[in-house]
Structure 1
Amino acid sequence: MNNEEAFRRYLQDNNIPANKYFQAYNKVAAGLKPRYFRFPHKNLTYSFGLTHKRVLWLRDVELFAICGKKPLPRNAVGLDAASAAAVEALRLSVLAKQAHISILDMCCAPGGKLLAIASTLIKYITTGDAKVTIVGLDSSYRRLKVCNALLRKEGLPSEVLVKLICTDSTNFDPSETFKNIIDNKDCTVPCSYDRVIVDVECSHEGSLRSVLRTVKYWGARQFEYRWLNQNYIDDLVETQCMLLNKALDLCKPGGMVVYSTCSLIDRENQGVIKRILNQRSDVYAHPLPIRQCECCTVATNATKNEFEHFDWPAEGVDIKSEYRYGDFRLDSEGPCKNDSSGSFCAVLFNALSETSTTDGQFIASLLKQPKTE
């Protein structure tokens, strides 16, 4: 890697162990960590007879792993397992019985999480009258066009309506009329949402493949600008807080916001969560579905002692002593009847762990206080 010494200083300044980082980086560069993929909704039959292993610790998103540098199967769509976990955190199965479902993806391009959300909801909808509206926002028109191309391949049914809008999410006003990139026509959007996911722009060093791509395709100058510039990180944190605040404003009372980054820097992760919870009295931490049990694991033939191996391979960020938990929670109609979701409202998929098989990802789950009768 170019400028390795400068990058080491950056890592050390942000309390990231440099030696472990470069070990993990070299492992990814050599193709020694698995890649993950899913199939579009219209191509789900391709999953039958696959020799690739399904990711058993994911309940909702049907994801498969492939090792080495082999090409992905035909029609497959790449999505890292840690990114899929951010979709799992939305607890989409709990929404399944609603007649009208609204979801907002505030930083949606190039579309991996948005498409996984749509495909997962289709699986859970049990009534033919259900209507789903998914709104995807992004400031990059080019990346939204990529999202639109993937959306066409997904083959979603008519009851799932997706709108893609090019806008600055920090200033998003749902009362306005927008141009839908999908059909280039004017459209309106819901004013509030059952679920909001905000996978914010971040320093990205947790996504080792992103670092590899930046070095390979953009060169040392872009690498230096993005990762070796503390002023850039300072600006990012401010934007991240603005986006999370906006997400909570747009969330319905009783709804959920999932905040995620692929950063390993505390101030972009739990630092942002702490700041927002200190500012707002209408938001509470909510446990993530990181535990598996007999009623909810996809590994139906597993023995009792094996279930622990299907828990999320993530480190819990224990914030019980620092942050407040609400006395309300999502009901336990699904997927877990035993409410075994665990106690962490924030987790880190640590890409630097020797046993890590995913990219780095921080995920936090927040509930907006329901209206009182």
Structure 2
Amino acid sequence: MEGQASGPDDKILPLPDEFIEFLNENGLDPSIYVANDSTPRYIRLKPGFEAHIEEFESEINCKLERLSWLPNFYCLPPDIRIASSKAYQEGKIYGIDAASGAAVSALDITSGDHVLDLCAAPVEPTESMLEGKSEIYKEWTSRRPWKERKKASKARENGAYKLFSQTHDPELIYYGRDSGVVGLSKNKVYEHLNDYKVSKYGYDKVLVDAECTHDGSIRHIQKFEQWGWETLHRRVLDAERTDELTALQLQLLSNGFRLLKVGGSLVYSTCSLTVSQNEGVVEKFLSQNKSAGLLEIDSARTWPCKSGQIPKTLRFDPNTSCTSGLFVAKFTKWEI
């Protein structure tokens, strides 16, 4: 059975009744999922290429409109494609929603900061980790052998991540030849550190853009028209999966916070608009971490967003922000 979501332009997107009920339970207006043309596409211009704007515009045959509230971001009509452009392929422009850019901007990263990015990428558990044996994290690389990827996929299917997250504390991770954490050499990073040492040597800034149901991504939800609404039920509405996701989100947030130095900043974000994956996770995390506190995001005073259900948290949505949906919370670590 399908319901209808209608927007100001009277266009209609059929949505399953179960999904509309899901939206109502979370206080969300179904009209944000209308397939309208009002939400623009956003790009970020790589710093240093400002003088090439006209060249980019000529290549994609479109005028770029500078976003007043977010540096280096531009908007363009939603039907414009940039993937085949030379500027995109050379890494001079990036396709990224403005709300996601705002979440990164909230970290206020400055030159010299050591930053840990936990964007929807938990460490793959190996067999020895799951058996409780100690193991040194290797230097991160995205080029893993096919057999290793297959084994990790099988571990996910068998619930290995859940077991791993419940029984293992994170270690400091070395991310490259010229990176690491302040005050530690590469060899030192491989050593086991207690909480006190981690708080002293940890990262200045941490971004936890956690895995979620992606219900705040309007274009993602619209794709279920082609994928089938049964897939929407499995990926978004299934209670068991969402319970596992909130457990993972809390663990990612907790792990990221443990690797944050005292006085540092951590931003937690999801592209979900549900309370359970956002305010619910934040409240539970704060109740478990006495050294954690929410920070005001100063730059957000000019952002087109609204407050979350917890003071100092933020929510973006198509109707308010002309962006995809996103939740943002910023934490600091106090010395106790």
Per the normalisation by structure 2, the TM-score is: 0.66
Give me the whole-angstrom Cα distance separating, in 2, the residues matched to 1:136 and 1:367.
Answer: 26
Give me the whole-angstrom Cα distance separating, in 1, the residues matched to 2:188 and 2:120.
Answer: 16
Contact 2:114 2:203 in 1 (8 A): yes
Report % sequence identity: 28
Q: Would you say how many aligned residue pairs link Structure 1 and Structure 2?
A: 258
Which one-letter code corresponds to 2:284 in the other structure? R
Superposed counterparts of 1:1-373, under 5 Å: 4-12=16-24, 14-17=25-28, 20-21=29-30, 23-26=31-34, 29-41=35-47, 43-47=49-53, 51-58=63-70, 61-72=71-82, 74-75=87-88, 76-92=93-109, 95-96=110-111, 100-107=112-119, 170=165, 173-174=170-171, 192-216=202-226, 218-291=227-300, 311-317=302-308, 319-320=310-311, 345-351=312-318, 353=319, 355-370=320-335
Shift of 1:48: 5.3
CA distance 1:188–1:213, change in 2 (3 Å): farther
Segments of structure 1 that go 5 or more residues without pairing to the other structure are 110-134, 146-167, 181-186, 293-310, 321-344
- In the TM superposition, what whole-angstrom CA distance separates every residue of 1:11-55 from its partner, at most 9, and x where no partner exists? 23x3234xx32x2222xx343311100134575543357531111
Contact 2:40 2:77 in 1 (8 A): yes
Contact 2:46 2:72 in 1 (8 A): no
1:266 alignment partner, SS class: coil
Give me the whole-angstrom Cα distance separating, in 1, the residues matched to 2:118 and 2:308.
Answer: 24
Contact 1:82 1:361 in 2 (8 A): yes
CA distance 1:48–1:33, change in 2 (3 Å): same
Which one-letter code corresponds to 2:287 in the other structure? N
CA distance 1:273–1:370, change in 2 (3 Å): same
Shift of 1:91: 1.1
Which one-letter code corresponds to 1:16 in the other structure? G
Contact 1:257 1:365 in 2 (8 A): yes
- In the TM superposition, what whole-angstrom CA distance separates every residue of 1:203-228 from its partner, at most 9, and x where no partner exists? 21111112123443x43332220122
CA distance 1:70–1:254, change in 2 (3 Å): same
Give me the whole-angstrom Cα distance separating, in 1, the residues matched to 2:283 and 2:272.
Answer: 16
Q: Which residue of 1 aligns with 2:133?
A: none
1:238 alignment partner, SS class: helix
1:87 alignment partner, SS class: helix
Which one-letter code corresponds to 2:332 in the other structure? L
Give me the whole-angstrom Cα distance separating, in 1, the residues matched to 2:140 and 2:36.
Answer: 34
CA distance 1:107–1:31, change in 2 (3 Å): same
CA distance 1:234–1:188, change in 2 (3 Å): farther
Shift of 1:290: 3.8
CA RMSD of aligned residues (A): 3.4
Contact 1:108 1:136 in 2 (8 A): no
Which one-letter code corresponds to 1:24 in the other structure? I
Which one-letter code corresponds to 1:46 in the other structure? H
Give me the whole-angstrom Cα distance separating, in 2, the residues matched to 1:244 and 1:141.
Answer: 28
Which one-letter code corresponds to 1:253 in the other structure? V
Give me the whole-angstrom Cα distance separating, in 2, the residues matched to 1:348 and 1:2.
Answer: 25
Which one-letter code corresponds to 1:358 in the other structure? T
1:224 alignment partner, SS class: helix
CA distance 1:245–1:177, change in 2 (3 Å): closer
Bigger mean CA offset, 236-245 vs 362-371: 362-371
1:225 alignment partner, SS class: helix
Contact 1:194 1:251 in 2 (8 A): yes
Structure of greater Rg: 2
Segments of structure 2 that go 5 or more residues without pairing to the other structure are 1-12, 58-62, 122-138, 150-160, 178-185, 190-200
Give me the whole-angstrom Cα distance separating, in 2, the residues matched to 1:259 and 1:101.
Answer: 18
Q: Which residue of 1 aligns with 2:129?
A: none
Q: Which residue of 2 aligns with 1:130?
A: none
Which one-letter code corresponds to 1:263 in the other structure? S
CA distance 1:236–1:318, change in 2 (3 Å): closer
CA distance 1:213–1:192, change in 2 (3 Å): farther
Per the normalisation by structure 1, the TM-score is: 0.60
Contact 2:140 2:176 in 1 (8 A): no
Q: Which residue of 1 aligns with 2:152?
A: none
1:264 alignment partner, SS class: coil
2:298 alignment partner, SS class: coil
Which one-letter code corresponds to 1:369 in the other structure? W
CA distance 1:265–1:189, change in 2 (3 Å): farther
CA distance 1:193–1:34, change in 2 (3 Å): same
